[in-house]
């Protein structure tokens, strides 16, 4: 045999070995080809991060800063009003110069452009650069927090990736309780410790009426659960809660589920050293008053402060064991910087995935066997050649998917078998050309040579057109469709190699030029 041919055979065998190794499951890698969510079961979520929340918070804080600094400098106090998420107005009392306030803005509020409205108020508008920075930070922070939570849930190989348009794509394979997971991801978990004013009432107006006149503008009215003497929920009541937030969830060191006096679950927490100092100062100065524990703008409980507390605290509420565990989890993983809105959700239960695999594989096997039968029937000896090329194509396709960590989806399974159908096309092009050359009276070797070289351009063209559409498919598609496009692309490249190179080598080995073959089974 020609040395050149021997080297080619060696190359083909090497390729075969390399890709077979890639697809054999091992102890470390029991699933060499990853199944997509549609086959494995799991949840795909697209969430929008409402970055406006974070911007609004920033703006509120800026307004607060302006007031406190003015107070420090003994300037007459201003009233502020937020116009939109990134803009607020400060109305300076009549007859007072705005220059001092503008100086505060220059020193402390660098993120805002200050201008004067026709009415003489100062308008603070967040600079575009700051706005973009906040939005970027918010998304990053949200991704980080969601990752912490998902990791704490023990989801294996999650994907959490930011996308354009303030979106986050979350893929959670194998999730078996999507409702709970979504709740955990979406909980903002902003925990605050704030003092209660006045008394609670059955509606917001009653509660507000109980607040002293001078404090009315300093409180928020927030809902909480009304409980009877036995601690059972019996309705809603409203609290007047001070706007000032002395201690927040960021001051927590850890949170865990524990049992209350009656055996009901609650969440125990401990503070960081800094948090403990703040909490100590707050409780020490307000013994006898009520302290509200506010979670996501709902009052969880509002116990009386009996003495100064420094390092420990308890959140009580109407929790089931699971709810308490989930709350502890979200508190540990930190609060989200902004709320999330679900734009898209696709959840496939594991049993549906199982059915899909069974049907997909069955259809593919039957298609594959039919294809092999047709090729053998039509091309006899050369058909064996085509079948070998096809098998190698399958091995390369699966092996490449394993190497590239491409995911196998249900359309992807269809893609594999479709690719094999297309790979046969290339063999057909070559074989038909060889037959034609034979009819023209060429020798077997000449017909093989001519068949391959003349079919080459056509094979490239037909592959190029399909590759172009596969690229558009990839660009367009989501999840399963992308998996399909990837399978198709890999398969197309593999089929150029097998139909053109491998098939040729097989002919060269079977019909050696030095034997001067006079017949060919085709």
Residues of span 249-288 touching another protein by CB under 8 A? none
Q: Which residues touch 224 (CB under 8 Å, ≥6 apart)?
A: 200, 236, 237, 238, 239, 292, 298, 299, 300, 301, 302
Enumerate residues 433-452 that contact another protein by CB under 8 A.
Answer: 433, 435-436, 439
Which of 142, 240, 331, 420 binds another protein (CB under 8 A)? It is: 420
Output the smallest distance, CB 8 to another protein, in A. 22
Smaller CB separation from another protein, 424 or 502: 424
* Residue whose CB is less far from another protein, 80 or 466: 466
- The answer to the question of residue 455 lying near another protein (CB under 8 A) is yes
Is residue 163 near another protein by the rule CB under 8 A?
A: no
C-beta closer to another protein: residue 69 or 393: 393
Instruction: Round the CA-based radius of gyration of the chain to a whole number and report it.
Output: 35
In the DSSP assignment, the letter for residue 113 is: E
Q: Pick out residues in 393-412 that bind another protein (CB under 8 A).
A: 410-411
Residue located via tokens 């906040």: 134
Nearer to another protein, 49 or 222 (CB): 49
d(CA 228, CA 226): 7
| Cβ atoms 153, 145 nearer than 8 A | no
Query: Is residue 363 close enough to count as binding another protein by CB under 8 A?
Result: yes
37 near another protein, rule: CB under 8 A: no
Return the residue of 5, 391, 428, 446 that touches another protein, per CB under 8 A.
Answer: 428
Which of the residues 472 through 501 are near another protein (CB under 8 A)?
472-473, 475-478, 480-481, 484-485, 488
- Within positions 233 to 252, which residues make up the interface with another protein, using CB under 8 A? none
CB 223, min distance to another protein, A = 20
Told to check if 345 binds another protein by CB under 8 A, we report yes
Considering only 140, 274, 355, 515, the residue that binds another protein (CB under 8 A) is: 355
Of residues 211 and 424, the one with the C-beta less far from another protein:
424
Contacts 24+ apart (CB under 8 A), 112-116: 112/62
Q: Pick out residues in 179-218 that bind another protein (CB under 8 A).
A: 179-180, 182
Of 81, 496, 138, 127, the C-alpha closest to 340 is 138
Instruction: Please pick, from the candidates 32, 201, 268, 421, the single residue that binds another protein as defined by CB under 8 A.
Output: 421
The distance of closest approach from Cβ of residue 196 to another protein in the complex, given in angstroms and rounded to an integer, is 28
C-alpha count within 13 angstroms, C-beta hemisphere, residue 479: 26
- How many CB atoms within 10 Å of residue 257? 18
Query: Whole-angstrom Cα distance, residue 171 to residue 365?
Result: 30
CB of 397 to another protein, least distance (A): 14
Size of the site for another protein (CB under 8 A): 89
By CB under 8 A, tell whether 359 contacts another protein. Answer: yes
Nearer to another protein, 311 or 432 (CB): 432
Backbone phi and psi for residue 74, each to the nearest 5 degrees, phi listed first = 55, 35
12: CB partners within 8 A, 6+ apart = 392, 501, 502, 505
Regarding 307 and contact with another protein (CB under 8 A), the answer is: no
For tokens 């194998």, name the residue. Answer: 174
Map the footprint of another protein across residues 365-394, applying CB under 8 A. Answer: 366-368, 370-371, 374-375, 377-378, 380
Q: Which is nearer to another protein, 125 or 332 (CB)?
A: 332
Of 96-104, 119-127, 245-253, 421-429, the segment contacting another protein by CB under 8 A is 421-429
Spatial contact of 383 and 4, defined as CB atoms under 8 Å apart: no
E strand segments, 272-350: 291-295, 298-301, 312-315, 340-348
Q: Kindly give the interhelix angle for 410-439 and 479-496, rounded to the nearest 10 degrees.
A: 20
Torsion-angle region of residue 334: left (phi > 0), alpha (psi -120 to 50) or beta?
left
């Amino acid at each position: 045999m020609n040395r050149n041919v021997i080297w080619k055979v060696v190359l083909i065998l090497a390729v075969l070995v390399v890709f077979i190794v890639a697809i054999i499951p091992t102890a470390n890698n029991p699933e060499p080809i990853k199944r997509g969510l549609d086959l494995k079961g799991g949840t795909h979520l697209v969430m929008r991060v409402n970055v406006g929340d974070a911007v609004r918070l920033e703006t509120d804080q800026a307004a607060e800063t302006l007031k406190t600094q003015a107070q420090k400098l003994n300037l007459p106090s201003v009233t502020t009003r937020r116009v939109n998420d990134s803009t607020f107005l400060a109305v300076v009392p009549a007859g007072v110069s705005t220059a001092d306030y503008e100086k505060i803005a220059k020193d402390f509020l660098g993120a805002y452009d200050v201008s004067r409205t026709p009415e003489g108020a100062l308008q603070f508008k967040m600079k575009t650069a700051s706005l973009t920075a906040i939005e970027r930070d918010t998304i990053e922070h949200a991704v980080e927090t969601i990752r912490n939570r998902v990791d704490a849930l023990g989801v294996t190989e999650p994907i959490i990736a930011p996308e354009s348009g303030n979106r986050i794509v979350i893929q959670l394979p194998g999730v078996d309780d999507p409702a709970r997971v979504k709740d955990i991801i979406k909980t903002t978990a902003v925990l605050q410790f704030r003092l209660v004013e006045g008394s609670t009432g059955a509606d917001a107006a009653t509660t507000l009426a109980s607040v002293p006149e001078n404090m009315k503008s300093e409180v928020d009215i927030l809902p909480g659960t009304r409980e009877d003497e036995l601690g059972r929920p019996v309705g809603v009541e409203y609290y007047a809660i001070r706007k000032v937030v002395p201690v927040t969830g960021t001051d927590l060191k850890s949170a865990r589920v524990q049992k209350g006096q009656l055996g009901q679950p609650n969440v125990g927490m401990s503070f960081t050293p800094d948090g403990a100092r703040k909490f100590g100062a707050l409780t020490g100065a307000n013994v006898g008053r009520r302290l509200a524990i506010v979670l996501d703008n709902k009052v969880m409980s509002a116990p009386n402060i009996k003495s100064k507390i420094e390092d420990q605290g308890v959140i009580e509420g109407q929790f089931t064991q699971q709810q308490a565990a989930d709350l502890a989890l979200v508190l540990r993983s930190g609060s989200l910087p902004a709320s999330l809105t679900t734009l898209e959700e696709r959840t496939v239960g594991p049993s549906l995935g199982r059915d899909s695999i069974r049907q997909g594989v069955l259809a593919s096997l039957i298609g594959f066997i039919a294809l092999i039968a047709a090729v053998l029937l039509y091309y006899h000896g050369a058909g064996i050649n085509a079948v070998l090329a096809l098998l190698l194509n399958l091995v390369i396709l699966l092996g490449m998917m394993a190497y590239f960590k491409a995911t196998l989806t249900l359309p992807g399974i269809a893609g594999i078998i479709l690719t094999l159908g297309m790979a046969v096309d290339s063999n057909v092009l070559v074989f038909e050309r060889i037959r034609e050359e034979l009819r023209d009276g060429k020798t077997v070797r000449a017909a093989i040579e001519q068949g391959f070289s003349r079919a080459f351009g056509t094979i490239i063209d037909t592959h190029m057109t399909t590759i172009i559409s596969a690229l558009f498919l990839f660009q367009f598609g989501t999840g399963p469709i992308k998996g399909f496009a990837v399978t198709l692309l890999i398969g197309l490249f593999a089929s150029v190699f097998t139909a053109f190179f491998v098939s040729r080598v097989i002919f060269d080995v079977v019909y050696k030029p030095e034997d001067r073959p006079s017949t060919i089974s085709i």
